[in-house]
Structure 1
């Protein structure tokens, strides 16, 4: 891959995740403070991510894989997205806001697969060439959060500007996409079944009882995950943390660090311990949030944010590697699609609906009873952890992965960074 292509792909990846991080982290605070919604409505807004995740395989599978070059579809989707984000920034009530963000997430979530597809198609050795490019995506997310904190948009009640900033970046990426290397459809003329699109042709993997338990645990753990995505920023702002969005970027930095160390942990600990540690980190994070504050308990808030690296990498990325190992060569892609549909689709959908109702139920005249609120996802994660430890057995007894396999797994893992 030549230097110009590498630079273009890096810019593409940076902008892709800058756009998402620019508005998604502070969405809950914006809705509660600027549009004066209920927490249930916040949950409905975050639920659009799940709808987008469910719709994504159809858009990518039916359009990008069969009819048009991926870079053109990426450009068109981001140009449309720029208009939707700008419109979302100027409406003044939730009923007007929701349709814009719903349609936006339906067209944005497929772009996550498109940027990966465009990147891989230009590479001779993806295991070595992709990670340095994908890391720019995490940097984009971090820069977006730091920018919001630096400009004090949270404290000044100007979070509508986050959508304008994301719209501008989306416009830039939309235009820039047409300069990306050509990525023609790979399945032109082939028939694609509904089972192929949804990953259902890999459903036989669920016959493995251990994997079935992991699969169900993945769906269940996404319920407490929804609390984090939807209400961490409103929580931190309500209790008085300055530049909360910028502080939350520490979670992505932690995630990147643990991603680099994952092959080492994977060899030494194995699948069950890695997954269990990931779930335990969820319990600990919410306990820290429950009892932390901006005075003597400030370290607890920062600790809960920094735990994101373990929470995400040790459970979700390990799970993706575990899925890859069990699926077999023929069903690797379908199996990853199935687990993504189950987690970001079904699991996050349930969690988004439940979290909003719970936060509304514990509203007080002064704000919210956050200690009680955070202990609920801690209890859910704890119950999932307990059942997992008692029932899960890795019946495959797979040996420690080789250095070459470690490099492959690291690449697969980095692909999934938020």
Structure 2
């Protein structure tokens, strides 16, 4: 891969995840403090990610795999996203805010599959090359959190009270506009499917990638992807709220420790693949979820704060070893014709179905363990995702047969 292409793909990944990290972590703080949103409304806002992910494969299958270059679609979606993000910054109540965030997530979630497709199209050995590119996405998320907490201090108690977290949406709008324009300069990623082929309903909707589920191992992986995202939803929806409620300062900045860890383990991922294979690598990721939630359950903001920080730092293993490994595995299974649709399918399984169910379950459990003063029994809450992750891990060990990944270019 040429150096200029590496730079383009790395900057694309940086901006893609800078955008997501620039508002997603702190929205759980912003909504109740600025828009006076209820817990149900917060869960509703976060669940838009899942609806976007559910719709994403249909968009990708319709246009990216058959009609238009992936990089052009990516640019268009981010330009529209910049407008919607600006509107979110100016919403003064949840009923106004919600339609914009729903529209935005329907626009944004397909881009996760598109950046992967653009990247994989330039690689002849993704198992070794993808991690180096993808790590810049993690760096982007880290930079967003550090800017919020330590440059502008938008998540400080005083600034939150003044509604300063609104600026995170403006920052994201600018970044989205930049990526939208930049995307049109990316390497060409033409459709993989032949547009002259007879078009079926499943082909139009991108459902041809469902043929991958006939492979027993991929089916087990697909189901595990859905189930493991239920405990993941607890982290995304409630970790920031948890850290703020127990008075651990600078929650957005503290949570970037997880992304720093993600950089380290992203770079180690090729070695783990070579040394342990796909099954053990992804299993390490599942087991890390169990340990993380146990640390959250028994840690506190005082003398046991180190347990919380270790739990956050485990994000590198939790995310890289399951989700990035899964993206590489999916690309290897899909072959050239349905790369984009397959990435959209796994996005549906993880950020769509799994997290939609997870957000709902997490909201119900968190509300159940809330007092009349809206103070939560966090140790009991965190035990639920820990136990669930343990069950998923055991099922994966029993039913997934180890296999060597062979990449089909």
The answer to whether the 8 A contact 1:89-1:160 is kept is: yes
Query: What residue number does 1:173 align with?
Result: 179
Query: What residue number does 1:416 align with?
Result: none
1:222 has 2:229 as partner:
yes
- Following superposition, the deviation at residue 101 of structure 1 comes to 0.4
Q: Which runs of 5+ in 2 are unaligned?
A: none
The answer to whether the 8 A contact 1:196-1:334 is kept is: no
Given the alignment, which residue of 281, 298, 303 partners 2:288?
Answer: 281
Q: 1:59 to 1:209 in 2, by over 3 A?
A: closer
Q: 1:321 to 1:60 in 2, by over 3 A?
A: closer
**CA–CA separation in structure 1 for the residues paired with 2:35 and 2:251:** 19
SS in 1 for 2:23: helix
Q: 1:211 to 1:75 in 2, by over 3 A?
A: closer
Query: What residue number does 2:381 align with?
Result: 373
Query: What residue number does 1:257 align with?
Result: 264
Query: What residue number does 1:355 align with?
Result: 362
**CA–CA separation in structure 2 for the residues paired with 1:186 and 1:393:** 29
Moved more, 352-361 or 333-342: 333-342
Query: What residue number does 2:248 align with?
Result: 241
Moved more, 245-254 or 187-196: 187-196
SS in 1 for 2:248: coil
Q: 1:201 to 1:176 in 2, by over 3 A?
A: closer
Q: Which runs of 5+ in 1 are unaligned?
A: 413-418
The answer to whether the 8 A contact 2:330-2:342 is kept is: yes
**CA–CA separation in structure 2 for the residues paired with 1:14 and 1:348:** 24
| Alignment coverage as a number of residue pairs | 401
The answer to whether the 8 A contact 2:114-2:340 is kept is: no
Query: What residue number does 1:415 align with?
Result: none
**CA–CA separation in structure 1 for the residues paired with 2:185 and 2:343:** 30
Moved more, 308-317 or 294-303: 308-317
1:384 has 2:392 as partner:
yes
**CA–CA separation in structure 2 for the residues paired with 1:282 and 1:348:** 15
**CA–CA separation in structure 2 for the residues paired with 1:213 and 1:382:** 16
1:10 has 2:10 as partner:
yes
**CA–CA separation in structure 1 for the residues paired with 2:239 and 2:51:** 21
The answer to whether the 8 A contact 1:219-1:346 is kept is: yes
**CA–CA separation in structure 1 for the residues paired with 2:334 and 2:303:** 48
Query: What residue number does 1:153 align with?
Result: 154
Q: Structure 2-normalised TM-score?
A: 0.86
**CA–CA separation in structure 1 for the residues paired with 2:215 and 2:74:** 37
- Following superposition, the deviation at residue 226 of structure 1 comes to 0.6
Query: What residue number does 2:29 align with?
Result: 29
Moved more, 59-68 or 46-55: 59-68
| 1:126-145 alignment runs, 5 A limit | 131-145=131-145
The answer to whether the 8 A contact 1:251-1:308 is kept is: yes
- Following superposition, the deviation at residue 21 of structure 1 comes to 0.9
The answer to whether the 8 A contact 1:225-1:351 is kept is: yes
- Following superposition, the deviation at residue 184 of structure 1 comes to 5.1
**CA–CA separation in structure 2 for the residues paired with 1:39 and 1:45:** 10
The answer to whether the 8 A contact 2:220-2:400 is kept is: no
**CA–CA separation in structure 1 for the residues paired with 2:19 and 2:200:** 32
The answer to whether the 8 A contact 2:57-2:347 is kept is: no
**CA–CA separation in structure 1 for the residues paired with 2:326 and 2:120:** 22
The answer to whether the 8 A contact 1:222-1:347 is kept is: yes
1:108 has 2:108 as partner:
yes
**CA–CA separation in structure 1 for the residues paired with 2:98 and 2:44:** 8
- Following superposition, the deviation at residue 182 of structure 1 comes to 5.0
1:290 has 2:297 as partner:
yes
Query: What residue number does 2:347 align with?
Result: 340
SS in 2 for 1:343: helix
- Following superposition, the deviation at residue 330 of structure 1 comes to 6.8
**CA–CA separation in structure 1 for the residues paired with 2:332 and 2:123:** 23
Q: Structure 1-normalised TM-score?
A: 0.84
- Following superposition, the deviation at residue 80 of structure 1 comes to 1.7
| 1:292-307 alignment runs, 5 A limit | 292-307=299-314
Q: 1:184 to 1:264 in 2, by over 3 A?
A: closer
**CA–CA separation in structure 2 for the residues paired with 1:67 and 1:392:** 38
**CA–CA separation in structure 1 for the residues paired with 2:35 and 2:173:** 19
| 1:79-90 alignment runs, 5 A limit | 79-90=79-90
- Following superposition, the deviation at residue 284 of structure 1 comes to 1.2
SS in 2 for 1:24: coil
SS in 2 for 1:367: coil
